[in-house]
Amino acid sequence: MPPTVAAELPRRVFREVSSLSVELTKLLQERIMIFDGAMGTMIQRLYLEEEDFRGKLLIDHPIPLKGNNDLLSITKPDAIYNIHKEYLLAGADFVCTNTFSSTRVAQSDYKLESLVFQMNSESARIARQAADDVGASSGLRRYVVGSLGPTNRTLSISPSVEKPEYRNVTFDELVDAYKEQAEGLIHGGCDMLIVETIFDTANARAALYAIQEVFEDPDKNIQPCPVLISGTIVDKSGRTLSGQTSEAFCISVSHIEPFALGLNCALGAREMRPYIAAIGAFTPSFVLCYPNAGLPNAMGGYDETPAIMAESIRSFAIDGLLNIVGGCCGSTPQHIKAIKQALQGCKPRVPPSRVTHHEGYLMLSGMEANLTAPNAMFINIGERCNVAGSRKFCRLIKDNQYEEALAIAKNQVEMGAQVLDINVDDGLLDGVACMTKFLNYISSEPDIAKVPLCIDSSNFDVIEAGLKCFQGKPIVNSISLKEGKADFIAKANKIKRHGAAVVVMAFDEDGQAADCDRKVAICTRSYRILVDEVGMNPADIIFDPNILTIGTGMEEHNNYAIDYINAAKIIKEILPGCRISGGVSNLSFSFRGVEKTRSSMHSVFLYHAISAGMDMGIVNAGTMPIYIDIDKRLLDLCEDLIWNRSSDTTDKLLELTQQYANQGSEKSEIQVDEWRNKSVEQRLEHSLIKGIDKYVIEDVEEARSNSAMYPRPLHIIEGPLMAGMSIVGDLFGSGKMFLPQVIKSARVMKKAVGYLVPFMEAERMGMGNDGPNHSGTVVIATVKGDVHDIGKNIVGVVLGCNNFNVIDLGVMCSCEKLLSAAVEHKADFVGLSGLITPSLDEMVHVAREMQRLGFNVPLLIGGATTSRTHTAVKIEPRYRAGPVIHVLDAARSVVVCSQLMKNCDVYKEDIADEYSEIREDYYNSLADRRYVSMETARARNFTIDWIKDSAVPAPTFTGTRTFPAVDLEELRPFIDWRPFFDVWQLRGKYPNRTYPKIFDDKTVGEEAQKVFNDAQQLLDEIVTNQSLTANGLVGFYPAQSDGDDIVVYDNESSMNEIARFCCLRQQEEKEGRQESYYCLSDFVAPRSSSVIDHIGMMAVTAGIGAEELCKHYERNDDDFNSIMVKALADRLAEAFAEYLHARIRRDLWGYSPSESLSPDDAFRVKYTGIRPAPGYPTQPDHTEKRTMWSVCDIEAQTGISLTESLAMLPAASVSALIFAHPRSSYFSLGKIGKDQLVDYSKRKGLSLEECEKWLRSNLSYETD
């Protein structure tokens, strides 16, 4: 460590800088210094035998000793002395002692534990003698470095695959072993110590802990010496064997302020370069590098010559990466000599100042580095791995189901937790054992272990147990002055020795600080002790000024939130470098059971607390709503409660959803069998138009038999069949033919072509012909993450009917697969489909990739969430090489593709002009549209008087209840047939727009009746054969609103927060000043009301078995029934949701026990309460599904899973939240401002970019 930097931070006590450090720092500022090379390589060259290792001392030892190189310092000291001397004469400034394995842990394999101190002392003495001898003869001082190797055990990895929690060594055993080694090395005359070849940072941390204990032991009176640290990157992954990145490794060991930090072993110089560069950028210490002489060859040797190795290292030096360099495995004195010569004239690396390097950053690590700048965004500490906060986690730990408990930890990380809180404090648990075991399990899971941990306990023994089995740099939660200053300092010193950051509670000998002045006074006193007396880095100090419960009904509690916020601001101003944290759920404890209220309170509180200086908090990552998403009325209530103004909360929401009126078309007439008397061409045409397949085979065969008219089978396709399909296309494109009819036509066409295929195959074999001459090839797919394909399938059928070759890649198709298929099939068009909002982003991605890869074919966009505006604004500008066209429906696809094939250039220009106008109009409309600020929207939230208007009973149960294999006949009365006709694009005109009046429509009525009858027939078969399975689940939990969040509790007795739904609030300006800005959290009683409310969750599917049934029909070329199955499965899923919601209202929750609504009344939302779904207008963020799935374990209990884009599988599934208050209502969120999304991202613990991705269509601003 450079000696002069300690004075640059007067308030912080650095480890004492020795005179040796001053001397070496001066030298290292002048030149690159040289380490020695491999001891083992030189020993191997001596070809020693067993008796050489035994010597006279161990001649009767019962265990073979050959290969125990460290023993040679006792039995053949001259050999070791000569090796040291060779390296020193070659130019080494430093020699490392022959003690790589000189610990009692490693020597236990040889039963030589009793000789460990002697091995180290003698090895140091020999090296000292060599260094002094060469130094005296050369006039240049040489230095002895005591080597502490990694041992042959590991704290982070189990030696047993079957038992990931098992360890064959403990932290304390390693500490004792390393203390003995360090004392022996120092006793023998070492100038400094090096902890080297670190493949497991947990082992290294034990060594560093031991070294600090040796230096601090007053009975030993050992002067601290410089400490060097060298890790080992095992391969080109850039990680240690225990999984840490080089940056995380640096953070984990930097608490000891090493004199030099670097890498050795495993890699050659060329391979090591990028990792040395990374470490150099990450540490203010000098950088040390001693690579192998290349990579091992097939025989385990090293082939890199001195010249080659030296040249590689010289390139490091020229680029300013090195301070100390040497060699490891395979290197010899010749290598060291060549390196020294190669570095002549190379300037050493200039380390950054220790104080200014990452100044003010909180630096934590798991397997990966976690750096938090002083003004960084809020850090979410995941709270669910806490036996007091998660009933499920507690049960799993008590039942010894640790692997299942890991799933909770993994979910927290996936949901956005940047730090993971672990707490196993329970009267029935052995905290030390449980903490050790669970952290050992975590070490085996890289997806979890990548993040830092917050080791949380009121028992310091449990905290120490956690610190002893985590290789990264964690947070300790917590210590305080409650037991006095001496206890506080003792614990702080142990934490500092472990290299952890620490949470300090605002407690002292007089108790907990409640008001602002006491909070500031206690934190100031604690800070001064930690910085001035303990020497802790201010950036590692995290104050928790006590978030206390408000809304309790006790007046003395009313200012608790204000006191915390004010204290946070003052603390950050007067105590530089520290962080502010808190247990956020404490704030809303009085509203146990009303998750929405609690989560909204938390969000509002955090909004203000973060502004005041709060940096982090223990929250359920990914579930808390963003401040700006909280409904205006609920926001006002939370604001009043937090600022001690009032206690109003929660309102109703209104959803403006309606079904779009659809345009109809004229009907066609069906002819009777007199058409059979016409020519074969006319009969084929008639069969195709009318969808009659009864005679098509005999008619096709008749045509094929007429070899004079149709000498080739292809001519029949190109002739009468295509003529008939062209008419179908014209009728469909002009709206004179309807989709059900077109599907039937396709079935006839497939049957006709299928009959001709064998004849064409035979012809091709003889003539080498290419087969059908299609109008064009279309590659279509539902994009990655989306499983909905009814519309896509219809488009495929319709295009196929119009002589297009359709390559359907199915659902959840990656961009790579799609574009590869487009190249393979020489596509004339690429078509993208999607139903859910995240699909829009994937479409943009595909467009970008098509542009990057040089495609120039038209890109067709379709699906329920797509629009001409989105296509023109978001997609088309990303793919300029080919036209991008929004396809409104299946009929339009025919027209678009036909136009592009006929007159591509003209049509492209028309589309480009049209989309340019759309973009201009869109951006002009944004300029005109007005939005209120997040603060204003929350101030005008919808308000319910929860004292006067809270007569919603508790549900009949809490937790979940499943409804497996529900009888489909029972669901049938609840089918809403109105959307069914939209699938088939049958749209009546007023007053006959919807079912059942659509049957009276003059244009589409007859066809609507036919497709309805077909549906009834197929539904009868499905019900009779039980072809589809309907599974469902309902869950009820206590809940309260917390600002714009809904906090969910486990039960009314414990009121432990188990989840948090983050809600969004309207921001589009409304005309009347009395108009409310709605948020779902408005409909749940807030914590301030003292009302324990509830929230319900529901998930149902009727799609189990649908895929198999569709495939059955597709194998029989029956696209009509394949599509009909999916349409009916969707209807049955919605019917199941209506059925279950009715039961919820009447008996499961029972808040409307006397309800007697007809299904029609339910379809028209005449019931009490609402059931909004994530991804729909009230809460368009699909990520909220993750919370539902986690709380209710939906996938395991129903078979409904989520794709990476959060679409439900099976696709015929419905999920919803259940709100019971009579004033709750549906509403449409509309567009929101960036201020709300910034707050929302903080509440959810996601990045702003991630939230923008999920809510792109709801943003009032541009993100690109």
In this predicted structure, the answer to whether residue 1230 has a pLDDT above a threshold of 70 is: yes
Check residue 866 and give its pLDDT.
82
Pairing of strands 1213-1218, 1093-1104: antiparallel
Q: What is the 3-state secondary structure (H, E, C) of 56-113?
A: CCCCCCCCCCCCCHHHHHHHCHHHHHHHHHHHHHHCCCEEECCCCCCCHHHHHHHCCH
Question: Does an H or E element contain 777, and which?
Answer: strand 776-782
Question: What does the longest C-alpha to C-alpha distance in the chain come to?
Answer: 121
Task: Write the CA distances from 565 to 604, 613, 1042, integer angstroms.
Answer: 12, 8, 17
Q: What HEC string does 28-50 produce?
A: HHHCCEECCCCHHHHHHCCCCCH
- Confidence band, pLDDT 50/70/90 cuts, at residue 992: confident
Q: What is the pLDDT of residue 1086?
A: 93
Average pLDDT over residues 381-398: 88
Long-range contacts of 137-143 (CB under 8 A, 24+ apart): 140/93, 142/88, 142/92, 142/93, 142/94, 142/95, 143/24, 143/93, 143/94, 143/95, 143/191, 143/192
Cis previous bond, 1210, omega within 30 = yes
In 3D, which of 136, 122, 51, 44 has the Cα closest to residue 85? 136
**Which two three-digit tokens encode residue 885?**
């066209």
Q: What angle do CA 408, 590, 543 make, to 5 degrees?
A: 65
Tell me, what's the pLDDT at 723? 78
Helix/strand/coil for 675: helix
Q: Is a pLDDT exceeding 50 seen at residue 945?
A: yes
At 625 the pLDDT is 62
- Residue type for 1073, please? R
Is 1128's pLDDT higher than 90? yes
Q: Which residue has the higher pLDDT, 754 or 264?
A: 264
**DSSP letter string over 128-160?**
HHHHHHHHHHHTS--EEEEEE---S--SSS-S-
- Give residue 1226's pLDDT: 87
Q: At what angle do helices 790-801 and 739-767 cross, to 10 degrees?
A: 60
pLDDT exceeds cutoff 60 at 650: no
Residues composing the chain: 1264
Task: Name the β-bridge partners of 778.
Answer: 806, 829
CA-CA distance, 1085 to 594, in Å (whole number)? Answer: 6
- pLDDT above 90 covers a percentage of the chain that reads 51
Separation of alpha carbons 752 and 759, rounded Å: 12
As a whole number, mean pLDDT of residues 296-302 equals 64
1119 and 1260 Cβ atoms separated by less than 8 Å: no
**Average pLDDT value for residue range 603-630:** 76
Structural contact between residues 1070 and 628, judged by C-beta atoms closer than 8 angstroms: no
Torsion sign (Cα): 328, 331, 332, 333: negative
Highest mean pLDDT (candidates 469-478, 554-563, 747-756, 1067-1076): 469-478
User: Which of 12-16, 646-650, 1243-1247 has the weakest average pLDDT?
Assistant: 12-16
What gap in Å lies between CA 782 and CA 784, rounded to an integer? 7
With cut-offs at 50, 70 and 90, classify the pLDDT of residue 647.
Answer: low
In this prediction, residue 665 carries a pLDDT of 32
Contact status, residue 719 vs residue 765, Cβ threshold 8 Å: no
Which carries the bigger pLDDT value, residue 347 or residue 746? 347
Cβ within 8 Å of residue 88, ≥6 positions away: 36, 95, 130, 131, 134, 142
Q: Map residue 918 onto helix, strand or coil.
A: helix
In this prediction, residue 692 carries a pLDDT of 85
pLDDT of residue 1096: 97
According to the model, what pLDDT value does residue 668 have?
33
What's the pLDDT score for residue 1116?
84
3-state secondary structure of 1098: strand
Residue 521, pLDDT above cutoff 70: yes
Closest CA to 1182 of 1204, 1198, 1197: 1204
pLDDT at 13: 34
pLDDT band at 649 (very low <50, low <70, confident <90, very high): very low
User: Is residue 390 pLDDT above 90, yes or no?
Assistant: no
Of the listed ranges 320-329, 519-528, 661-670, 1212-1221, the least confidently predicted one is 661-670
Tokens 């009276």, residue?
A: 1000
Question: Tell me, what amino acid is at 1028?
Answer: L
Name the burial class of residue 1264, with classes exposed (0-12), middle (13-18) and buried (19+) by CB atoms within 10 angstroms of its CB. Answer: exposed
Give me the pLDDT at residue 163, please. Answer: 84
> How far apart are alpha carbons 827 and 776 in whole angstroms?
8
Give kind and range of the element (H or E) at residue 705.
helix 696-705
* CB neighbours of residue 1055 within 10 Å: 22
The whole-number pLDDT of residue 830 equals 95
Tell me the C-alpha distance between 512 and 506, whole Å: 6
> How does pLDDT run across 726-761, given as a tens digit for each residue?
677 666 544 455 555 666 776 787 788 778 878 866
**pLDDT value for 930:** 82
Beta-ladder partners of 1209: 1201
Give 308: exposed, middle or buried? Use CB within 10 Å, 0-12, 13-18, 19+: middle
Cβ-based burial of 712 (10 A; exposed 0-12, middle 13-18, buried ≥19) = middle
The answer to whether residue 958 scores a pLDDT higher than 70 is: yes
pLDDT at 1008 over 70: yes
For residue 553, what pLDDT is reported?
62
Tokens of 1083: 């409909």
What is the token pair recorded at 904? 């591509």
Q: What is the pLDDT of residue 581?
A: 93
pLDDT at 1073: 56
Is pLDDT larger for residue 271 or for residue 1081? Answer: 1081
Of the candidate ranges 49-58, 242-251, 291-300, 842-851, the one whose mean pLDDT is the lowest = 291-300
The answer to whether 165 touches 226, Cβ cutoff 8 Å, is: no
Alpha-carbon span 756 to 571, nearest angstrom: 84
* pTM for the full predicted model: 0.55
DSSP symbol at 972: G
Answer yes or no: is pLDDT of 928 > 70. Answer: no
Q: How confident is the model at residue 655 (pLDDT cuts 50, 70, 90)?
A: very low
* Mean pLDDT in residue range 359-378: 83
What pLDDT was estimated at residue 621?
43
Residues in a beta bridge with 231: 198, 263
With contact defined as beta carbons under 8 Å apart, do 1147 and 956 qualify? yes
Q: Answer yes or no: is pLDDT of 672 > 50.
A: no
Give the pLDDT score at 298: 58
- Give all strands (DSSP E) within 536-609, no chain letters: 541-544, 579-580
- Pairing between strand 1045-1049 and 1057-1062? antiparallel
Tell me the pLDDT tens digit for each residue of 426-484: 878 899 999 999 999 999 888 899 999 999 998 999 999 999 999 999 999 999 999 99
Q: Which of 207-216, 346-355, 792-801, 973-982 has the lowest mean pLDDT?
A: 792-801
Give pairs for 524-533: CB < 8 Å, separation 24+.
524/571, 524/574, 524/575, 525/481, 526/480, 526/481, 526/488, 527/575, 527/578, 529/485, 529/488, 529/489, 529/492, 530/492, 530/502, 530/504, 531/11, 531/12, 531/13, 532/11, 532/13, 533/13, 533/489
* pLDDT above 60 (res 725): yes
Is residue 1143 scored above 90 in pLDDT?
Answer: yes
Q: Known catalytic residues?
A: 786, 788, 839
Query: Per DSSP, what are the bridge partners of residue 1049?
Result: 1057
Tokens for 212, please give them: 């600090």
pLDDT at residue number 879 = 87
Pick the closest to residue 749 from 728, 731, 735 (CA basis).
728
- CB-CB neighbours of 223 under 10 Å: 11
Q: In this predicted model, what pLDDT tens digit does every residue of 771-780 receive, in sequence order?
A: 455 678 999 9
Which phi and psi (to 5°) does residue 471 adopt?
Answer: -80, -20
Beta bridge partners of 1042: 1045
> For all residues of the chain together, what is the average pLDDT?
85
Q: Report which of residues 505 and 789 the model is more confident about.
A: 505
Q: Which two tokens stand for residue 685?
A: 């045409």
Beta strand pairing status for 1093-1104 and 1057-1062? unpaired
As to burial, measured by CB atoms within 10 angstroms (0-12 exposed, 13-18 middle, 19+ buried), residue 106 is buried
**DSSP states of 1177-1196 as a string?**
TTB--TTHHHHHHHHHTHHH
Beta strand pairing call for 1045-1049 and 33-34? unpaired
Return d(Cα 625, Cα 1240) in angstroms, integer. 6
Tokens (6 digits) for 1023:
């019900």
Per-residue pLDDT at 670: 37
Residue 129 class from Cβ within 10 Å (0-12 exposed, 13-18 middle, 19+ buried)? middle
- Distance between CA 489 and CA 479 in Å, rounded? 10
Provide mean pLDDT across the span 56-83.
93
